[in-house]
């Protein structure tokens, strides 16, 4: 059985020809799927009965099974099971005037950041395009309001699963697909330099928002917190980002998880400022107060400390915001997504 959500329009037109359909039938089916969010082939009434039966015998729509939904005041966590029994999750976040869906790109993660619960599982496997798209489809089908913002900030390192994430972005941001604005799709990476360079040359991927988790002002501390940065040095990362082909008015988001007594001092704020000052117009800094997790040894600083840290960056004319994660009550906030714990919860 194949998953129809694995295909882009061109691919599906070709596949339909092989199956003996007219190619334009692919446009019809994708329009049912991604415009009306109709996932039952039987209900695609502008297709003949024979066509519908053939579709049903050839394709599946859903590659994930929804197993649990946990509602909080500011978010909803959706827990899914893959066909091979792994658990992944997506978090729907209620912003003031819109909805944002945080998608997972891998089961577990190989990057190994010390402050992140997902790292504890190691990398189990990449998600397929269809498993990424199905997160969107199933959550959207559960709602009446359209989800127009998507962030790849759930479980996993999206740029370590480049091809599948790219195909998902293509479906998310194409007029024949889910049709989101590319400016409302964000990819957050731990800073894989070769993959960021690949994005910079990719006509589709260079249009989406790039967020880079910086998390430390020095190579020394960064490679302790994020072992990946031993081979992806902070200095080289900043210089690759400084050359990233964004128009003048577009900024790269630098994410900085603020951890008590680890990276939250004024001295470290000055150090961070010094690092990015030569390119300050290129960046916007988001300070994320650390979300505690029973499996991790760190603590969240007092919010006043985070605001002091922000003040120091501001004094250097760096644009900087404090982002308090939503979803903490349901363990759905950044750094709290973990498939093993979910397995226990079940």
For residues 128 and 215, which CB has a smaller minimum distance to ligand SAH in the complex?
A: 215
For residues 140 and 291, which CB has a smaller minimum distance to ligand SAH in the complex?
A: 291
For residues 157 and 293, which CB has a smaller minimum distance to ligand SF4 in the complex?
A: 157
For residues 81 and 222, which CB has a smaller minimum distance to ligand SAH in the complex?
A: 222
Catalytic residue among 102, 113, 116, 334: 334
Query: Can you say how many angstroms the Cα of residue 239 is from the centroid of all Cα atoms in its chain?
Result: 24
Catalytic residue among 10, 65, 89, 302: 89
Cβ contacts of 227 within 8 Å, gap of 6 or more: 111, 112, 113
Min dist. Cβ of residue 67 to ligand SAH (A)? 22
Give the residues across from 94 on adjacent strands: 99
Min dist. Cβ of residue 75 to ligand SF4 (A)? 18
For residues 9 and 259, which CB has a smaller minimum distance to ligand SAH in the complex?
A: 259
- Any contact of residue 339 with ligand SAH (CB under 6 A)? no
Q: For ligand SAH, which stretch binds (CB under 6 A), given 56-64, 228-236, 262-270, 285-293?
A: 285-293
Residues that bind ligand SF4 (CB under 6 A): 109, 111-113, 116, 118-119, 156-157, 190, 213
Task: Give the SS3 label for residue 280.
Answer: helix
| Percent of residues in the chain assigned helix, strand, coil, to nearest 5 | 40, 20, 40
Could you give the dihedral angle defined by the CA atoms of residues 221, 226, 231 and 232, in that order, rounded to the nearest 10 degrees?
A: -90
Give the residues across from 289 on adjacent strands: 258
215 binds, among ligand SAH, ligand SF4, none (CB under 5 to 8 A by kind): ligand SAH
Give the residues across from 253 on adjacent strands: 211, 284
Cβ contacts of 97 within 8 Å, gap of 6 or more: none
Closest C-alpha to 127, from 345, 346, 339, 344: 339
For this structure, is 89 an active site residue?
Answer: yes
List Cα–Cα distances, 251 to 159, 204, 284, in angstroms: 19, 17, 6
For this structure, is 113 an active site residue?
Answer: no
Beta-carbon count within 10 A of 247 CB:
5
Q: For ligand SAH, which stretch binds (CB under 6 A), given 50-58, 89-97, 162-170, 183-191?
A: 183-191
- The set of catalytic residues is 89, 334
The site for ligand SAH (CB under 6 A) is made up of: 115-116, 153, 157, 188-190, 213, 215, 255, 257, 288, 290-291, 293, 325, 334-335
């Amino acid at each position: 059985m194949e998953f129809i959500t694995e295909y882009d329009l061109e691919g599906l037109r070709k596949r339909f020809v092989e199956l003996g359909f007219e190619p334009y039938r692919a446009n019809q089916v994708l329009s049912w799927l991604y415009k009306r969010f109709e996932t039952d082939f039987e209900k695609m009434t502008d297709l003949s009965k024979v066509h519908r039966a053939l579709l049903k015998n050839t394709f599946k729509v859903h590659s994930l099974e929804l197993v649990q939904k946990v509602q909080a005041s500011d978010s909803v966590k959706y827990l899914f099971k893959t066909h091979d029994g792994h658990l992944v999750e997506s978090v729907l976040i209620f912003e003031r005037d819109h909805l944002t869906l945080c998608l997972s790109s891998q089961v577990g993660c190989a990057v190994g950041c010390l402050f992140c619960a997902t790292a504890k599982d190691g990398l189990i496997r990449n998600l397929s395009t269809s498993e990424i798209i199905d997160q969107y489809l199933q959550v959207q089908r559960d709602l009446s309001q359209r989800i127009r913002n998507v962030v790849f900030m759930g479980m996993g390192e999206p740029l370590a699963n480049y091809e599948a994430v790219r195909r998902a972005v293509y479906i998310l941001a194409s007029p024949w697909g889910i049709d989101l604005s590319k400016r409302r799709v964000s990819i957050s990476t731990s800073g894989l330099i070769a993959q960021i360079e690949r994005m910079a040359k990719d006509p589709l991927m260079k249009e989406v928002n790039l967020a880079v988790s910086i998390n430390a002002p020095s190579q020394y501390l960064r490679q302790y917190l994020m072992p990946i940065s031993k081979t992806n040095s902070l200095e080289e990362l900043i210089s690759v980002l400084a050359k990233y082909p964004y128009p003048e008015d577009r900024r790269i988001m630098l994410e900085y998880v603020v951890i008590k007594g680890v990276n939250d001092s004024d001295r470290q704020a000055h150090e961070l400022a010094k690092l990015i000052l030569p390119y300050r117009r290129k960046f916007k800094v988001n300070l994320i107060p650390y979300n505690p997790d029973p499996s991790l040894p760190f603590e969240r600083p007092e919010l006043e400390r985070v605001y002091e840290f922000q003040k120091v960056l501001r004094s250097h004319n760096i644009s900087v915001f404090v982002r308090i994660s939503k979803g903490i009550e349901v363990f759905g906030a950044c750094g709290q997504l973990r498939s093993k714990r979910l397995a226990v919860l079940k």
